[in-house]
Every structure is written in C-alpha cells, then in structure tokens.
Amino acid sequence: MKNKFLIISFTSCSGCISSLISLDIFPQFLERSKIIYFPFLSDTEKIVDCDVALIEGCISEQSQIDLLKNVRKHAKKVIAMGTCAAFGGILSLSKKKKADPISDYIEIDGIIPGCPPPSKLLGNCFIRIIENKEIELSNKNLCNNCPLRGNLEPYNGNPINKIYPSNDEINSSKDEQECFLLRGILCLGPIIRAGCDCLCIELGVPCEGCMGPVSKDFTSNLINFLSLFNISNTLRKYKGIFYRFSKPKMRR
C-alpha cells in the first residue's frame, strides 16, 4: 500500500518545495506514494489522515498555529523540510515578525535541513521516507569534508573582521585559498552539520549555517564558537550573525 503524503507550506520562499519538485526522483516519489494534500499541485482543501506530513516554512502568524496542530493531529509522522521549518529560517532577522520552527508548537519526527535542502540530501531523505526508514543526518561538522581543509592550520589569533570575502578572493584559484577563519572571514563550518557537500565554499563563500548545528541550540552554539575567536568590534555589533537562521530560545 502506498504511503499517503501531505505537503504544506507556511511562511517561506517556497524554495524547499521547488527543490523537491526539481528532484530527479520526484517522478518516482509520485509513483510510489499518494499525495492527498499539496496546494502546489492540487485543489484539495481538506486536511485528512496521512502517513507523512512534509512541512515547509516557519510559523510567523498566530493563525498558522491551529493549522499546524491540525496537520499534526492527522499525520503519523511530521517532517520539517528546510531551515525555516527546522530552525526558524531567514525571517529570524526580522525585528517585527516572529520566525518559530514548527517544533515550538508540535512534536516532529525528523528534519531535512538546508536553505533549501541540497538536492543530494533531499533525494536521499525522500528515498528513506518512501521506504519507511528513519532520516539519517551526518553527526559531523562541515569542516570534516571542507575543500579548504587540506591547508588547515591552527587559528593564528588574527581578528575576524569580515562576513564575506572580496570579489577577488571569491574568484581566486582554490589552490591559493586557505581556511576562511585564517583569512579573517567568519565561517560557521566548525559548528554546522555536514551534508551540503560544501556547495557555498566550493563557490568561494563561507558557511552561513543553514544546515543548522550538529547538536543543541543554534544561538548557544554560535555564542560559544565566537568566544574562541578575536572578533572585530564591528562584527560584535552586528546582531544578524546571531539571528541569521534562528532566534534565541529565551525569547518567550
């Protein structure tokens, strides 16, 4: 018997849904499952019992909470798909809107992190979901397979004073590059979960943290991490570092 799926979006850019539909295995997913609610593809309005609910987006409005709880009531399993659903997402930078992960309001059965989730990770997770297996995420940090790891040296104490490299640095040969932190550029690789194949780093930009921490709370990990480095006064005042994908849990 095919598993019944419910796919729903809350506050998001729909990037996770777009990534899902673009997967090479999406036709296989359609063949091996039964989608009973998916506003992007069907006009079905009523939420009914399902085996798996895939949820994209964070909770930013009070009206979304009742809908989310209704989804939980009808789903055997709930998966948070993407950084917004899992951690709060980029809306966490807003001072006027809340950006709560869905786990603040309901119990969830797994996450597929990423902004959006990398195709390889998303595809592997969906195969496991179709086969009624638990989602498996890496328990290692991004530095473990970073392409700049080969020339890694101990942190030299130089100040971290930039969030992004210059255009010249981005376009330079990878053979000429070294760890972003050694170049005075903030990179969150040491505390962020591996699984994205270092796509940003391959393009010459540091990790911003969309895959989330390997364990525990996003903000506490970040504060502890930054305390180990000589952070410039300019960056210390930039609160966006702390709220890029998650707001502190103490906010309530």
Residue ranges per structural domain of the chain: 3-130, 142-251
pLDDT (tens place) for every residue of the chain, 252 residues total: 789 999 999 999 999 999 999 999 999 888 989 999 998 888 878 899 999 999 999 999 999 999 999 999 999 999 999 999 999 999 999 988 999 999 999 999 999 999 999 999 999 999 999 888 999 999 999 999 898 887 666 666 778 989 888 887 776 666 667 889 888 999 999 999 999 999 999 989 999 999 999 887 888 888 888 888 888 888 877 878 878 899 877 544
76 vs 16: CA distance, rounded Å: 22
The helix/strand/coil state of 141 is strand
Joined tokens for residue 80: 């948070």
Q: Which residues contact 205 (CB under 8 A, 6 or more apart)?
A: 164, 165, 170
Give residue 216's region: left, alpha or beta (phi > 0; psi -120 to 50): left
Domain 3-130, CATH number (from 3.90.1150.10, 2.60.40.10, 1.20.1300.10, 3.40.50.700): 3.40.50.700
83 vs 111: CA distance, rounded Å: 9
